[in-house]
Structure 1
Amino acid sequence: MRVLLVEDEAKTAGFLAKGLSEAGYGVDVALEGFEAQDLIEHERYDLIILDVMVPGLDGWQLLKLVRQRADTPVLFLTARDSVEDRVKGLERGADDYLVKPFAFIELLARVRTLLRRGPPRELDHYRVADLEVDVLRRRVTRNGQRLTLTNKEFALLHLLISRRGEVLSRTLIASHVWNFNFDSDTNMVDVAVRRLRAKLDDPYWPKLIHTIRGVGYQLDSGDDETRADATD
């Protein structure tokens, strides 16, 4: 589960991000509104925790942006504790409203509740051609043969297959699999894909992982025209 935390106080943001990470969530932090806007427009989150008073775009504007794009649950976390503000937040589409100061254990309980209410969870089992991925058992087979993957290889495959057909940039892959962004000249993503291909694609047909020149990678079994510029 991926969470976007929008909080302009760096100390508070660090504390919350650490606690949420320890609870098992992937966390991105935005310290101001325009940074949050960029993440909302280019990433997919299971939950957004949103302070009302952040510089740049404020919480109300960001909430409107979220609701124009998706039904992602939004939890307002703010010092604004008036009834009017709470009603305004809920009427504009927030799913919950927690007033500062707060106990982290209460925040965590509200996060878990919202995620249970959210969109259906991702699949536990995927199949593409003769590739099967059992997420819960962390079991991968190709043509009936068991494949042994490292943790990072499995995380990379899970990302690719859960977004089958999408072209994923190297930066996006790095942020999801390693939880941070690599410099543009770093080839770690390419190396990881090459190692995964050696186990997943080299001995089998059809090839499933495709390189899209100048963009990134895609997992798919078809040979449609959308990959006319791909190099396998």
Structure 2
Amino acid sequence: MKILLVASSDAERGYLSKAFRESANSVTAVDDVRYALYLSAQEPFDAVVMSGAGAAQLDALAGMLPSFAALSGAPAIVLALSGVKAEDRVRMLRLGADACFVQPYSFLEMLERMLALHRASNPRAANAEMPAELALDALTRELVQGNTRVPMTKREFLLLECLLRHANTPVARDTLIRYAWPERDDVDPSSVNLAVSRLRRKLATHGFHCKVDTISRFGYQLSTH
């Protein structure tokens, strides 16, 4: 998944960024809700996670939730609040949040809830050309086709997820870098080439009905037919 994480606390932002990335997600982390709304209007995210808000910040957050809920990409809105009551959580859900946790919470439960929301959003409907039998299993970090399951590294998984979102369409190298290496400002092109080469070998070795083509001077394309 592509996640936009909002947390004013450096510690909370660092912890969740690391946890989400270790679970093979692409994470953009910011410390300001207004800036997060601006970013989410510029590019699509699967989920917006807002963590750390307490009772004192609820009114401000409540005023912005409808704007997040109205985003064209329809990302899942997940809140992790502190020191709030049940009626506060109900209020946030009514204003557009898809899930609302109270600290201390289970990260695994949060992640499972986000994956369930992601599955329910039916991303395949946006791309009818994607083979129905080809899928990514985020829990096991595997590429699945029929009875074949092949484990991927975190970078391979994120690269393939980005390419699958645009199957049979060229994807710019810069787009792939931002998706698969969101925590790094400067990525050596050789790192991208190496990850793509490993991914190609796995697809060919295990007989997957797709391949990664190089688009000269632009990027790559996942061809599924």
Same fold (TM over 0.5): yes
Specify the SS of the correspondent of 2:18: helix
Letter aligned with residue 32 of structure 2: E
Tell me if the contact between 2:213 and 2:221 (Cα under 8 Å) persists in the aligned partners: yes
Tell me if the contact between 1:37 and 1:62 (Cα under 8 Å) persists in the aligned partners: no
Tell me if the contact between 1:170 and 1:216 (Cα under 8 Å) persists in the aligned partners: yes
**Residue in 2 aligned with 1:28?**
28
Specify the SS of the correspondent of 2:112: helix
Letter aligned with residue 91 of structure 1: R
Letter aligned with residue 172 of structure 1: T
For structure 1, which runs of at least 5 residues remain unmatched after alignment?
Answer: 141-147, 202-206, 223-232
Tell me if the contact between 2:212 and 2:222 (Cα under 8 Å) persists in the aligned partners: yes
For 2:21 and 2:224, how far apart are their aligned partners in 1? 34
**Residue in 2 aligned with 1:209?**
213
| The one of 75, 81, 85 aligned to 2:84 | 81
**Residue in 1 aligned with 2:96?**
93
**Residue in 1 aligned with 2:45?**
44
User: Which structure carries more relative contact order (alpha carbon 8 Å, separation 6+)?
Assistant: 2
Encode CA deviations 1:62-109: one digit per residue, 9 max, x unaligned: 65134221332212223472566434422221122234xx1232x532
For 1:189 and 1:66, how far apart are their aligned partners in 2? 36
The TM-score with structure 2 as length reference comes to 0.61
For 1:88 and 1:134, how far apart are their aligned partners in 2? 36
For 2:216 and 2:76, how far apart are their aligned partners in 1? 33
Letter aligned with residue 103 of structure 1: P
What are the equivalent positions in structure 2 for 1:20-169 lying under 5 Å apart? 20-22=20-22, 24-26=23-25, 27-40=27-40, 41-45=42-46, 47-51=47-51, 59=61, 60-61=63-64, 63-79=66-82, 81=84, 85-99=88-102, 102-105=103-106, 107-118=107-118, 119-120=120-121, 135=136, 138=143, 151=153, 152=155, 156-169=159-172
The TM-score with structure 1 as length reference comes to 0.59
Tell me if the contact between 1:90 and 1:96 (Cα under 8 Å) persists in the aligned partners: yes
Tell me the percent identity.
20
For structure 2, which runs of at least 5 residues remain unmatched after alignment?
Answer: 205-210
For 2:86 and 2:160, how far apart are their aligned partners in 1? 47
For 1:115 and 1:92, how far apart are their aligned partners in 2? 21
Encode CA deviations 1:117-172: one digit per residue, 9 max, x unaligned: 4435667xxxx89xx967566479xxxxxxx9984557534532342144433333
Backbone CA RMSD of aligned residues: 4.6
Going by fraction, where is helix more abundant, 1 or 2?
2
**Residue in 2 aligned with 1:12?**
12
For 1:221 and 1:150, how far apart are their aligned partners in 2? 19
For 1:83 and 1:161, how far apart are their aligned partners in 2? 39
